[in-house]
Structure 1
Amino acid sequence: MPLPTDDMAWPPHHLKPALDAMHTWDTWWSGDPDRLEVLYGGSTGGGPDPKRLQYSGGVVGRLARWWWGTPTAPGERRTKLHVPIAGDLCGGSADLLFSEPPKLTVEDDTTQARLDELADDGMLATLQTAAEVGAALGGVYLRPVYDVDLADRPWLDAVHADRGIPEFQWGRLSAVTFWRVVGEQDGQVWRHLERHEPGVILHGLYQGTKDKLGRPVPLEDQPATAAFAALVNTDGAIPTGYEGLDVVYIPNQSSRRWRCKPKLQELGRSDLDGVEPLMDALDETYSSWMRDLRLGKGRIVVPDSYLQSNGPGRGSSWNPDQEAFAGLNHLNRGGDMTLTVAQFQVRVSEHQQTAEDLVNQILRSAGYSGQTFGLGGDAAATATEVVARERRSMTTRGRKILRWRPALGQVIEALLTVDQQVFGGGLKPQRPTIEFEDSVQEDPLSLANTVNVLAQATAASVDTKVRWVHPEWNDDQVQAEVGRIMRENGMSVPDPMQTGELP
């Protein structure tokens, strides 16, 4: 399927539900209170009256009735606080997957050496970023890219889910079109479309409006796309040298929201899907807590005549940092001239318990344990105890690895193919074997105690014990260590059959 040739709505209408949901998740993930107020209609920046919108029906009224949709009274400063738990969730998901680099192995030694170089050239950082983006938006694309003017090797690039139009066949990505805005002037918008199909990448530049794609124009019309004009063939395509699709899409989790929409059901589900009301309530709880602190400051209510006079006709003033905080303007004749102390209660325990319960519910709904995010104390524990406490997080990690492993293998194979085609080097592109490292490492003392018990029970060989203590070692390293241990302990006895002498 080629690039569009006719003017059409952009982005396409069938993507609107997904893009709207991604916009909501992205706003929470960003942690920007201004964006949250704009999203839910709580801003008073010259738009419609937010208070009136709360009585509306439909989506507008429903959003305006959120706590972030409550307007700030005119003349008052905003006192709403935002707890960035959405960023903690998405960052924690990426840490569970890629806190340690995955082990990538291929059979050919030359290819393995080159793959190690590519992996050390920022690949782990890209994977961590992609995992966090995928947790926030419900999925992420990975593709190999290169620029001979920047580096002598290709690298992986992550494309956010809201910048691609995917096409799925039997649950697998068959083609995708990425787009970006490369120019805007006088209401005109120039978009660069990059369509990936098996074996080729199509490039096109379109001049349209904010909501319309417009007409195709030469790639030379914009500096951002001029370089592609010399690379594409007569069909506007660049061969990739890879037989399959050089882009993979990694859904975060199975989608629940769009399971009945064939064009959207494979997009995946964000970790923030369904917990937006709880995050809204958490922000309200913390803001109420801070409000109690402000109101709980000691006040002494005094007559205005007790305050500092600014001169005839200019009234009196007070310093808010002084104990005498507020004054009452009344006649002194026969009036009550006593000083009144006002002290409101600060409900610390109530707010703390409510906030902790909301945080635990958010983490549980997102599929994580509280211990993963530092809740439940910092007492020392063995790896077995840690896994038991974080079982829910480990289960979620395992589900995500099932989606990441095959997709990562395919895109690295495409990366090696691009490397061979563009930079040479005698590589043999092949799909690597991927092994994700354990996110919880056993304590060395606990390992030593376990190995000691096995040795006393004569239940494990020296080879088994060495592999238990050093699971990251290869066979040569293990055999060398076994030989040293046996020689040091006098367990190395020559084989009489090899010396030609019988005992």
Structure 2
Amino acid sequence: MPLPTGDIAWPPHDLAPALDAMHTWDTWWSGDPDRLESLYGGSTGGGPDPKRLQYAGGVVGRLARWWWGTPTGLGERRTKLHVPIAGDLCGGSADLLFSEPPKFTVDDQVTQDRLDKLTDDGMLATLQTAAEVGAALGGVYLRPVYDTELSDRPWLDAVHADRAVPEFRWGRLAAVTFWRVVREQDGQVWRHLERHEPGVILHGLYQGTKDQLGRPVPLEDHPATAVFAAAVGEDGAIPTGYDGLDVSYIPNQSSRRWRCTPRLQDLGRSDLDGVEPLMDALDETYSSWMRDIRLGKGRIVVPSAYLQSQGPGRSASWNPDQEAFAGLDMLARPDASGQLTVAQFAIRVQEHKDTAEDLVNQILRSAGYSGQTFGLGGDVAVTATEVTARERRSMTTRGRKILRWRPALAHVIEALLAVDREVFGGGITPQRPTVEFEDSVQEDPLTLANTADVLTRAHAASIDTNVRMVHPEWDDTQVAAEVQRIQAEQGMAVPDPMQTGELP
């Protein structure tokens, strides 16, 4: 299927439910209170009834009935407080997956050497960013890109799910069209469409409106796409050097809400899906807590005679920080002691704290994580085994995500090698690598040393086994060298008499 040739709606209407949900998740992930108020209609209104929308029906009324949909009263300042737990969730998901770089191995040594250079060029930062974006929006795309003026090698680039129009076949990505806005002026919107098909990439520039794609225009008409004009062939495509599709889609988790929608059922699910009401309630709880603190400030209600005049026409004031006051010339009254009224409201700290902690635990549990992962269990030093036990739910979620990330990474790395050979040469053989994820929880050196010591005294492990256990990140060459050094230090590096050819 080529690029669009007519004026069609953009983005396509059948993606509207997914894009609306992604917009909601992105708003919570951004942590911007202004965007939250705009999303739920809670901005300060100018009408006589600021809560009119909350009594409306349909989608507008449903959104306005959220706490973030409560409008700020006229003449009042906004006192809503936002807890950025959505950002913590998505960032924690990325840390669980890519706190350590994954290992990519292929059979050909020349290809392995080149692959080591490609994966060492900032790839870990790209994967961490992609994992966080995928956790927020429900999925993310990875593609190889290159620029001969910037680098002598290609690299991976992450594309957000709300900037792609995918096409799935039997649950697998068959083609995808990425798009971006390169210019907006006088109501006109210029979009760059980049369509990926097996073996080729198609580029197109369109001049339309906010909701319509518009008509195609030459790539040379805008600097952002002029660079592709010279690269496309007669058929308007750029070959990738890879027979298959050079893009991988990594769904965050299995979709729930779109499982019966044909065009959307293969899209992933955000970690924030379903916990939006809980996050709304958490913000309301913390805002109520801060309101108690504001109201808990001691106030003194004084009669007007106690106010200090600021001069004719300048009203009067009361200085609450003044500690000593001069005597007042006034008639004594039997109830003079009641003329000063102290207002001191209670601050319900424990009630708010318990409510907030319960909401946070429920949010984490619904998203598939343990509270220990986010520091709710304290910072007491424990072994890696105990940490894994406490974070079992997080480790289970991490394992489910690795099942989706591993084949997608293997596919896109093979495409990266093919693009590298096509553009930069080098004589490599593109292969699909073996992907290994490192353990997110590492044993401390003292625990490993004690285990190795016990195994040695029990004659249950060799020196080679102990070295590999203490240093799991070492390769065979490093392990062999360390074994030889240990044997030399302990006087065990003696020749085998059966190998010398001489009998004792």
By the TM > 0.5 criterion, same fold? yes
**Do the aligned residues in 2 keep the contact of 1:305 with 1:316 (CA within 8 Å)?**
no
Q: Deviations over 1:41-67 (max 9, x none)?
A: 100255896511111111111110000
- The residue that corresponds to 1:277 in the other structure is 277
- The residue that corresponds to 2:358 in the other structure is 357
Between 1:198-207 and 1:315-324, the stretch displaced more is: 315-324
- Amino acid in the other structure paired with 1:172: R
- Amino acid in the other structure paired with 2:27: T
- Which whole-Å CA distance do the structure 2 matches of 1:51 and 1:483 have between them? 78
- Amino acid in the other structure paired with 1:377: G
- The residue that corresponds to 2:70 in the other structure is 70
Matched residue pairs, number? 497
**Do the aligned residues in 1 keep the contact of 2:253 with 2:269 (CA within 8 Å)?**
yes
- Which whole-Å CA distance do the structure 2 matches of 1:161 and 1:320 have between them? 56
TM-superposed CA distance for 1:443, in Å, is 1.1
Measured at CA, do residues 197 and 322 of structure 1 come closer, stay the same or move farther in structure 2, by a change above 3 Å?
A: farther
Residue 208 (1) aligns with residue 225 (2): no
- The residue that corresponds to 1:328 in the other structure is none
- The residue that corresponds to 1:371 in the other structure is 372
**Do the aligned residues in 1 keep the contact of 2:51 with 2:71 (CA within 8 Å)?**
yes
- Which whole-Å CA distance do the structure 1 matches of 2:335 and 2:214 have between them? 76
Question: After TM superposition, where is structure 1 displaced by more than 6 Å over at least 4 residues in a row?
Answer: 331-337
Query: Percentage identity across aligned positions?
Result: 84
TM-superposed CA distance for 1:315, in Å, is 2.4
TM-superposed CA distance for 1:486, in Å, is 2.7
**Do the aligned residues in 1 keep the contact of 2:188 with 2:210 (CA within 8 Å)?**
yes
Between 1:50-59 and 1:407-416, the stretch displaced more is: 50-59
1:173-322 paired onto structure 2 within 5 Å = 173-319=173-319
2:191 match: secondary structure: strand
TM-superposed CA distance for 1:305, in Å, is 2.1
Measured at CA, do residues 47 and 400 of structure 1 come closer, stay the same or move farther in structure 2, by a change above 3 Å?
A: farther
- Which whole-Å CA distance do the structure 2 matches of 1:8 and 1:479 have between them? 64
TM-superposed CA distance for 1:152, in Å, is 1.2
Measured at CA, do residues 373 and 48 of structure 1 come closer, stay the same or move farther in structure 2, by a change above 3 Å?
A: farther
- Which whole-Å CA distance do the structure 1 matches of 2:50 and 2:61 have between them? 9
**Do the aligned residues in 2 keep the contact of 1:29 with 1:136 (CA within 8 Å)?**
yes
- Which whole-Å CA distance do the structure 2 matches of 1:160 and 1:319 have between them? 56
- The residue that corresponds to 1:451 in the other structure is 452
Residue 461 (1) aligns with residue 454 (2): no
- Which whole-Å CA distance do the structure 2 matches of 1:225 and 1:385 have between them? 54
2:175 match: secondary structure: strand
1:72-91 paired onto structure 2 within 5 Å = 72-91=72-91
Measured at CA, do residues 152 and 493 of structure 1 come closer, stay the same or move farther in structure 2, by a change above 3 Å?
A: closer
TM-superposed CA distance for 1:264, in Å, is 0.5
- The residue that corresponds to 2:328 in the other structure is none
1:54 match: secondary structure: helix
2:176 match: secondary structure: strand
Measured at CA, do residues 246 and 332 of structure 1 come closer, stay the same or move farther in structure 2, by a change above 3 Å?
A: farther
TM-superposed CA distance for 1:438, in Å, is 0.7
- Which whole-Å CA distance do the structure 1 matches of 2:199 and 2:41 have between them? 46
2:136 match: secondary structure: helix
TM-superposed CA distance for 1:272, in Å, is 0.3
- Amino acid in the other structure paired with 2:139: G
- Which whole-Å CA distance do the structure 1 matches of 2:488 and 2:121 have between them? 41
Between 1:488-497 and 1:455-464, the stretch displaced more is: 488-497
- The residue that corresponds to 1:391 in the other structure is 392
- The residue that corresponds to 1:154 in the other structure is 154
Q: Deviations over 1:177-211 (max 9, x none)?
A: 01111112221111111100000001111111111
- Which whole-Å CA distance do the structure 2 matches of 1:293 and 1:183 have between them? 47
**Do the aligned residues in 2 keep the contact of 1:163 with 1:179 (CA within 8 Å)?**
yes
Q: TM-score, normalised by structure 1?
A: 0.95
- The residue that corresponds to 1:327 in the other structure is none
**Do the aligned residues in 1 keep the contact of 2:410 with 2:434 (CA within 8 Å)?**
yes
1:96 match: secondary structure: helix
- Amino acid in the other structure paired with 1:83: V
TM-superposed CA distance for 1:109, in Å, is 2.1
1:233 match: secondary structure: coil
- Which whole-Å CA distance do the structure 2 matches of 1:220 and 1:320 have between them? 69
- Amino acid in the other structure paired with 1:234: E
TM-superposed CA distance for 1:369, in Å, is 0.6
- The residue that corresponds to 2:112 in the other structure is 112
TM-superposed CA distance for 1:319, in Å, is 4.7
**Do the aligned residues in 2 keep the contact of 1:145 with 1:154 (CA within 8 Å)?**
yes
Q: Deviations over 1:14-49 (max 9, x none)?
A: 000000000000000000000000000100255896
**Do the aligned residues in 1 keep the contact of 2:45 with 2:71 (CA within 8 Å)?**
no
Q: Deviations over 1:114-159 (max 9, x none)?
A: 2122222111110000000000000000001111111111111100
- Amino acid in the other structure paired with 1:385: E
